[in-house]
Structure 1
Amino acid sequence: MAEKEVILTPEGLQKLEDELEHLKSVKRREVAERIKLAISYGDISENSEYEDAKNEQAFVEGRIMTLEKMLRNARVIHDDDVDTELVSIGSTVLLKDIEFDEEVEYTIVGSAEADPASNRISNESPVGRSLIGKTKGAMVEVAVPAGTIQFQVLSIKR
């Protein structure tokens, strides 16, 4: 089975590379020191510090493997690749919420970079999926748990 392609902006790629470097160079060393310290307390069969450190080590190693896999399958979307005529990954879209008569701006990113609190939504989210391929002026209906939301695409930029 082919591994899933991870779509990233240059900033997203840098963020993942920085996290991986931190985990490998700093976190691994910290966890190893915690394990060494916990072992020095004696009997490891009933040593909660040792158990906690081993669990953290497993988490760190798992995250390192996940990041390496994501970076191996990364495809970087540069500003030059973003079409301002159609909504695509990398587009920043200004929308009008028809029901509430409010404007909202989203940047469409790959799922690895999604951060709804910063208005960075995944191309795989309901809103992101509905917007991909739309043009300026298009009306978009998005099915959400609370019903249906209608948006109009006001502008598309890089």
Structure 2
Amino acid sequence: MFLGYHIAMQIPKRKSENRRLVPVDTFITEEKFNELKAKLKRMKEVTHPRLSEESKRLAQFGDFSENAEYQIAKGKLRGLNQRIMETEFQINHAQVIRASKNTDIVSLGHYVTIESQGRKNTYQILGSTESKPESGIISRHSPIGEALLGSSVGGEVEVQLKDRKVKYKVIKITRDQEE
């Protein structure tokens, strides 16, 4: 009886196959949700067919191992497939922010006017994927965002910044920037 060894050739995984979906903040605005859906549609209906067709066209030029253009096209297609998966994941796990009508207490989506050392600033508190501090949009995970959530008009919060603690007084809470 022959007991042979079965030697299987291991095919190395591509970097994209080793990549895991990175957890993202699932709280997004309805506007961002609609942007993601439009982006996904564009990737699936426009970009993917174009890159697929390009790969098929380049595959006709012979030996894949020496066909640099084909390898590049396949790499672009793999990258696009990864972005499609990530966007689908984000859409499927999204929690759309709807600012509470109750403006007595700061909650996600609200605009909050705060004052510190005589200076007033207004911020909207959103999920971290939409954070743009220079535009007045702060993450719910930022030190100021975390401190403000749950506070009320007239209340004070203390925030530990890099080298100092700063006190902020809540002046106004609104659902819309124009209120």
Q: TM-score range by the shorter chain?
A: 0.7 to 0.9
1:133 corresponds to which of 128, 144, 150: 150
- Quote the Cα distance in structure 2 between the aligned partners of 1:4 and 1:115: 16
Q: Which structure 2 segments of 5+ residues have no match? A: 1-22
What is the CA-CA distance between 1:58 and the residue it aligns to? 2.4
- Quote the Cα distance in structure 1 between the aligned partners of 2:157 and 2:76: 44
Give secondary structure in 2 for the equivalent of 1:121.
Answer: strand
The equivalent residue for 1:21 is 41
The equivalent residue for 1:93 is 112
Q: Which structure 1 segments of 5+ residues have no match? A: none
RMSD: 2.5
Q: TM-score, normalised by structure 2?
A: 0.71
% identical equivalent positions? 33
The equivalent residue for 1:70 is 90
- Quote the Cα distance in structure 2 between the aligned partners of 1:48 and 1:127: 50
The Cα offsets for residues 15-57 of structure 1, whole Å up to 9 and x where unpaired, read as 2111111111122123224423543555432444334333332
8 A contact 2:147–2:159 mirrored in 1: yes
Pair 58,128 (structure 1): closer, same or farther in 2 beyond 3 Å: farther
The Cα offsets for residues 99-149 of structure 1, whole Å up to 9 and x where unpaired, read as xx3222211112233233432222122221111101112222222334333
Pair 125,35 (structure 1): closer, same or farther in 2 beyond 3 Å: farther
Higher strand share: 1
Count of paired positions: 153
Larger Rg: 2
Give secondary structure in 2 for the equivalent of 1:57.
Answer: helix
